[in-house]
Structure 1
Amino acid sequence: MRHVVTMTATSSIGLIAVFLVDVLNLFYISQLGQQELAAAIGYASTLLFFHTSIAIGLTIAATALVSRAIGAGGLAAAKQLAGTALLIIGALSLLLTLLTYPLMPALLQMLGAQGETARLAQRFCAMVLPSIPLLALGMCLSALLRAVGDAKRAMYVTLGAAAATAVLDPLFIFGFGLGLDGAAYANICARMVLISIGLHGVFTIHHLYARPSRTAFMQGLKPFFAIGIPAILTQVATPVGNAAVTAAIAKYGDNAVAGWAVVGRLIPVAFAGLFALSGAVGPILGQNLGAKRYDRLRSTMRDSLKFTLIYVCVMWALLALAGSHIASAFGALDLGREIIVFFCLFVAGSFLFNGCLFVANAAFNNLGYPLYSTMLNWGRSTLGVIPFVWLGSHWYGAIGVLAGYGLGVVFFGVAGVWLCFHVLGKLERDAAAAAAA
């Protein structure tokens, strides 16, 4: 439990800082008094979230392979794998960025953006997209630091980027009078800081990089994509579900979308501990799998689920008390205000099951069963979102959309935990049979 809490806490600090700055970004934009600007940020974030999710999937593969190599005592192999991962992630993120540009107007329209709101969202995306490769590489560098067990420096990577955004956001938005463009410039600068700190930790402090030979690179491709492709599919499921919710809420107007944008920023701040837990537990599981410590695999899972239960109960209580104040702080009007308050009072509790699913997915990705996490996440983001959101919208309007979003995760969270312990038992039995043979 101490290891789980330490890795999660240090990761949480950096993540909370990043997400809190993201909330401040939307808060500053909301102070300009135009609901179209807040709605545009909501649409743009939904689109950009796809790129972030793909980067997360790729970093999961990097973490799993490098932590296993370290756990098995193969430091030289870990350095080669780290180099391979950075090359792959840099190339793929650049390619995806280039492919997105011509599709931006159509993608934003699919999400429900129209008129001036669509124009503003497209402008923001066009400015921020070129920095996506920096974000992807920075995330990979932070993941490599976690893989080697340096939770503190992994925290510094995200904390440094958050500090840069916190300083530059109000300067660009208000000081230079750039408005929405200022928010985009601050994002770009923060990603430069992110990758700079990450490079220092991986290259200078730990020397966790070796330029992969052609043979090592080709050998690393298969295991990397064996984990990476299912992990990407798993991660992309979440923005697909979010896109379905955004499209369902869009028909209720810019006020509703602005309220959903606030909820979208509130979720990662309030539940950063769960996101951090899913990232922190992976290297612990990977190293113990490499060392064949099956007792520690099981105890790590149990402790992670206890942490999830306590964390969600505390955050749900705080959100329930603060819901109306949060809505007032962002100047949310009418339906937008109702959406924020309803989320804080009721839907926030559903993150107990989201947290269980996050932990189970991290386990599957690091224990050699990435397709299980893909199956569960896509099930949650399709069967656990689309019908529930549609029925909720049909019966109760925009509030029903949010209720459906929360209820749909319950089954998949429970199923994920059951399947995870089933996998742990299978691994242990297989190892015992191999030892006996």
Structure 2
Amino acid sequence: MTDSKKNVRATSLTEGDVGTILKRMTIPMILGMIMMMSFGLVDTFFVSLLGTEPLAAISFTFPVTFTVISLNIGLGIGTSAIIGKLQGSGNLEESREYATSSLMLSFSLVGGLAVIGYLTIDPIFALLNADASLMPLIHDYMTLWYLSSVFLALPMVGNSVLRASGDTRTPSILMAVGGGLNAALDPIFIFGVGPIPAMGIEGAALATLLAWIVGAVWIIWYMAVRKQLMVPRLLTFSELKKSALPVLRIGLPAAGANMLTPIAGGVMTAVVANYGAEAVAAWGVGNRLESIASIVILALSMTLPPIISQNVGASLYDRVEASYRLTLKFVVFWQLLVFAILWLLSDWIATSFAEEAEVASLIHLFLMIVPLGYGFQGIIILTNSSLNAMHRPMAALVLSFIRLFIFYVPVSYAASLFFGLKGLFWGVVAANLCMATVSYIYFNRALSEHRQEPGEQTA
């Protein structure tokens, strides 16, 4: 066997102790994602030093930026599901073509979405109830951020290829380097150093852009030259069409499911905006902190699917069930511990992220309530990622819609009408509990169907 064949050979996830495999794959992902998630959190922290208005402005951007990122996530999910199966079956050359196709797709689709986003900044943020005084700040941030999103597409989808091949260490390194570079550049561009002028909120976006340009160049070199996991050329149209359709069949519903989250987030931001700029600032900080608090959930949502995909392909459904239930048990207990820590540190965290007493008070209120539901949210996220890995993207999409627009938005909004902002926070917890129950029941039914009909599911 040639070296190139060895390079693309997948690590088998169909043998060995499930818990050991999950631990081996997840720990590097956690370390990398801590740095990855620091992008938004570090930006939020440094921007918060500029005052309430810049902090409110960057908080308004979260639903919009996550919409673009969701397309990358969806394409990555489709890529991982397809390549994982091809790698597991030894179809190595075909997996290389799919990897190249996925990168080309992500660059093109995200680029198109970024152009549309740039041209519609004013109407979109007006729909989010952004005050006119914040629009200049939002323009400063989003103009450069949209450009950076195109370069973000390549490492995000490239990392999915690596994870599908059983490699979680390299994606972790890439995320850590990107997060570290962003954190180092943020204060330089935001506040200015020497000949570099202070750029304020625009500087945060520039730091992100430069970090992702480095990441994009590195991932292309690593996959094409170092590991030979992709074809080192652009595909022809016929090649792209052939390999793109299966990826899109899973990736687009997955992207749609992820895009529902920022849409619902936008609705919730508009609701929170009724309580003032201070409430929006606190809501934005809370959501950024949620990314860090849920880091283990998000890491597992990236390491569990390759295990599910390979074992479904091998019809090893007992291993699928064991993997799913083990992760759920761990996540519930872990997130209860996270809640306890956030509850104890809520005062200190609030004052660290806000200079104004009212904003700090609202951040404190958020941290005393909302993190209680993170374990239930983990069940929801891991169920959806497992369904995508089982090639059931439409089921995951439907469950996402139910979660957000049957439970999350209506329950939270109704609670806010009776109990104000505190009621809204409790509504978020109640909605997560209800949806976690629905998700768990549905997954077990889907797995039962797979046992009876062990063929590939595409919808």
CA distance in 1, matches of 2:391, 2:44: 39
Q: Is contact 1:44–1:122 with CA below 8 Å preserved after alignment?
A: no
Moved more, 258-267 or 290-299: 290-299
CA distance in 2, matches of 1:298, 1:135: 34
Residue of structure 2 aligned with 1:157, choices 159, 162, 174: 174
- The residue that corresponds to 2:207 in the other structure is 186
Residue of structure 2 aligned with 1:10, choices 28, 32, 42: 28
Moved more, 330-339 or 419-428: 330-339
Q: What percent of counterpart residues are identical?
A: 26
CA distance in 2, matches of 1:131, 1:10: 25
1:113 and 2:130 are equivalent in the alignment: yes
CA distance in 2, matches of 1:9, 1:392: 38
Letter in 2 for 1:9: I
CA distance in 1, matches of 2:204, 2:172: 23
1:378 and 2:395 are equivalent in the alignment: no
- The residue that corresponds to 2:3 in the other structure is none
CA distance in 1, matches of 2:261, 2:330: 22
Deviations 1:139-178 (A, max 9, x none): 0011111111111001011111001011101111122422
Q: CA deviation at 1:21?
A: 4.1
Q: CA deviation at 1:396?
A: 1.9
- The residue that corresponds to 1:270 in the other structure is 293
- The residue that corresponds to 2:37 in the other structure is 19
Deviations 1:17-39 (A, max 9, x none): 1223422221111122x200000
Q: Is contact 2:28–2:172 with CA below 8 Å preserved after alignment?
A: yes
Residue of structure 2 aligned with 1:31, choices 36, 44, 49: 49
Q: Is contact 1:255–1:332 with CA below 8 Å preserved after alignment?
A: no
Letter in 2 for 1:236: M
Q: Is contact 1:248–1:389 with CA below 8 Å preserved after alignment?
A: no
- The residue that corresponds to 1:132 in the other structure is 149
- The residue that corresponds to 1:223 in the other structure is 246
Classify the secondary structure of the residue corresponding to 1:385.
helix
CA distance in 2, matches of 1:80, 1:239: 32
Uncovered stretches (5+) of structure 1, i.e. residues with no partner: 433-437
Moved more, 341-350 or 249-258: 341-350
- The residue that corresponds to 2:310 in the other structure is 287
Q: Is contact 1:69–1:290 with CA below 8 Å preserved after alignment?
A: no
Q: Is contact 1:62–1:82 with CA below 8 Å preserved after alignment?
A: yes
Compute the TM-score of the two structures, normalised by the length of structure 1: 0.95
Q: Is contact 2:163–2:171 with CA below 8 Å preserved after alignment?
A: yes
CA distance in 1, matches of 2:238, 2:367: 53
CA distance in 1, matches of 2:111, 2:58: 23
Letter in 1 for 2:307: I
Q: CA deviation at 1:334?
A: 4.6
CA distance in 2, matches of 1:310, 1:6: 20
Q: Is contact 2:301–2:385 with CA below 8 Å preserved after alignment?
A: yes
CA RMSD of superposed structures (Å)? 1.6
- The residue that corresponds to 1:426 in the other structure is 449
Residue of structure 2 aligned with 1:246, choices 265, 269, 273: 269
Q: Is contact 2:53–2:277 with CA below 8 Å preserved after alignment?
A: yes
CA distance in 2, matches of 1:231, 1:2: 28
Classify the secondary structure of the residue corresponding to 1:383.
helix
Deviations 1:219-243 (A, max 9, x none): 2233212101210111111111211
Q: Is contact 1:255–1:334 with CA below 8 Å preserved after alignment?
A: no
Residue of structure 1 aligned with 2:100, choices 66, 70, 83: 83
Residue of structure 1 aligned with 2:323, choices 291, 300, 310: 300
Deviations 1:237-295 (A, max 9, x none): 11112111110011111111111111011000111111111111111111222233222
Q: CA deviation at 1:400?
A: 2.1
1:199 and 2:217 are equivalent in the alignment: no
Letter in 2 for 1:173: I
CA distance in 1, matches of 2:394, 2:361: 38
Q: Is contact 1:259–1:332 with CA below 8 Å preserved after alignment?
A: no
1:348 and 2:366 are equivalent in the alignment: no
Q: Is contact 1:339–1:399 with CA below 8 Å preserved after alignment?
A: no
Uncovered stretches (5+) of structure 2, i.e. residues with no partner: 1-18
Q: CA deviation at 1:335?
A: 4.4
Classify the secondary structure of the residue corresponding to 1:409.
helix
1:169 and 2:190 are equivalent in the alignment: no
- The residue that corresponds to 1:435 in the other structure is none
Residue of structure 2 aligned with 1:392, choices 408, 415, 419: 415
- The residue that corresponds to 1:100 in the other structure is 117
Q: CA deviation at 1:339?
A: 2.9
Moved more, 398-407 or 234-243: 398-407
Residue of structure 2 aligned with 1:320, choices 319, 323, 343: 343
Moved more, 123-132 or 402-411: 402-411
Compute the TM-score of the two structures, normalised by the length of structure 2: 0.90
Classify the secondary structure of the residue corresponding to 2:407.
coil
Moved more, 287-296 or 260-269: 287-296
Distance 1:392 1:95, change over 3 A: same
CA distance in 2, matches of 1:97, 1:417: 35
Q: Is contact 2:332–2:376 with CA below 8 Å preserved after alignment?
A: no
Moved more, 288-297 or 320-329: 288-297
Q: CA deviation at 1:214?
A: 4.7
Distance 1:55 1:21, change over 3 A: closer
